[in-house]
Structure 1
């Protein structure tokens, strides 16, 4: 029957001892446990096979001659599914098999004559465990590099900064099997506005202020998003800041801190509640951290160019490119496409009574509402001034009306603070729709002129603008439309009656 024994000061290594002699098992078990190893025992080859399949085993000590399945037969069976497991054959008969022949024939790592005493056994055990350690390092290195190569495309794809930060932490936690971890970034300099929906407080370099704000966490840190690290009361905060300031991995008493740097640019740190002492693992971590830091920096630069800082929505130039792309996709795939144009009601009054600070607050609030009420496939933008726009892929006229109604409903209880109290936040919406393209694409000339889609996109916006004007005439919190457009004649296609 299998038994498992533990030693107080563990080495972290597990040895399977296989012998049909209970007396030998017991004495050898005690010897190995005194060395700090975890010992598993089996009295037959069949029992040993089951243990190897279920448990982590670094080294096997196998008696050569056992009833039923011999040691040689057991080794051959184990090699079918654990080709790199370190195995030492034990024998009580020195002349049973020539040692060199056994080592070569069975691909085992040692041969121990029981008559040579415990010191010789411990010597073989140390050699076998050392080999197991280096094989494990090679395996981890190969798997780790493969893992990093596989996830690199995910790190560098276009995505929100917050999603990327979460992904980076989950990837490195998965690489090392860490449960408790967090990723913290350098906070924004005082006096700067923060970007709603993005990783708040993100700046490249701060010379004298190395405060850090948690942006993603796992395990016991999972509920600490947007928490200033100083508020955690961590005893090793000096070392955490030191990792970022010095730009080197810090291996603490029970944790590891990895800085995220791009050249001289300090981005943040990854904190792992896990002690990394192996040089191979540290090297893999550094490779991953370099990739992650570059991805974060690129995403930051991308969002600076495409996202409006105040509202967290796309800027108009990037949005117009998206609209042309969606018009082209709707044409090619034969699907509906709808468009919303929004304008904040009484924006002049908000600015006049509350100042531009109140106006900015109104803009930021509507940006947040649009992010919360639209689908992940919808594209939102600050179109200009107090105007906003939303692209609704796959939305027919009825779906566009539902989307507009949802936005207006979400604003019902929203108010903007001004000097004399509060003003309601309301908006008007104009709706336009391009219906499914009904013609066969086989009739479409090739190459197809890009100007056609630009013109259709312009018409979609123009119709929504007309509907927005009609909504404004109705009063606050109204929508108008949808105006359903007809696709323009295909270039080169004859008009009716010609």
Structure 2
């Protein structure tokens, strides 16, 4: 099928030479000697492919590319940029400007034609009907060329300004609240909304997930905000939200109340947009907008820029949270480390005493672990420790804390749990490990664990006393023959 190719080249000799070369492909060729003339021909012919030189007066190839790629209709047309040079910087800017391909000018005509042919073959075909409709639509806009160029330049300037504003927010990644407030301020200058939501996911899945909210020019009932939370997280985490609803909450970052603009039901928001943001198959956050009036969230170009830049910010924030998380995690087992355990125990013990709630500690020790290492090697010993850690993690609640206490010892903090209640999952874990076969190559190795449990009672005045009782109960399990659970009494 015969295609339309637009060739833009300011050198008359080069223009004629490339045109003659392209004529061998028997496609229809239009030519322009500068970018402005080229833009005019783009709107008059809507070609299947644009081939442009980079170095041209007034508007160069990079700028031409950026201008055309900012037009929502014309941006579909592929652009090849040509240069005499083969510098990496040329290639970098060509691709950043939105070029679909970067080709170095060559005396080898066959190579050039092969590249153009391959590119045309893979490019999206514009039907004649579609082409004529675009030309008709552009004519009906009744804009002269300079106005079109000015509009494209304005769009490009707006986009680069928004991008710069987003990039400046990276300094606030250490504070979710401040970052959210700055983001809402920027978003409100670009988008008209009554409620905006933003969520930054954390690497530590034990942390409560907070939806940051901004209310603008409206009065929204608390029950409606809770429905927005449900609506948002159901879309972001459709498989897990209902099971873990108590782990999610809201935080109002800023609010400009208008009592004459009330929302008493979520159904009163006639414009709604919820956008999950993912990276490497992991949800790293999301953003949402709600407006009481209809058709207020239709500016796709603005949302495209917001989401693109927000994804970069959220990736930076995720990496920051991951760094913090790795500082409290044991590398071998994936459990919390001893330092984090001590900080958590201090907090949970104080809370238990203050609110008079139950708190239990449980300590596991792998039986004859030194012998396992001596007979089968430390590599197998590490494997056993990692597998047992997985079994324990999968058997407990999300509200429980599991840490590697030292060597082969694993310790659990069980908030709002008595020793009688704790004994049920602890025994289940012990029995699961006892019945499991740990494979060392083709050899099945049996492993058992001992456990001690203690709880905060009226005569336990410090966390050290609670820890000592747990340790004593563990010692009793070992003294009684191992592979047992003992409750301190």
TM surpasses 0.5: no
TM-score, normalization: structure 2? 0.43
TM-score, normalization: structure 1? 0.43
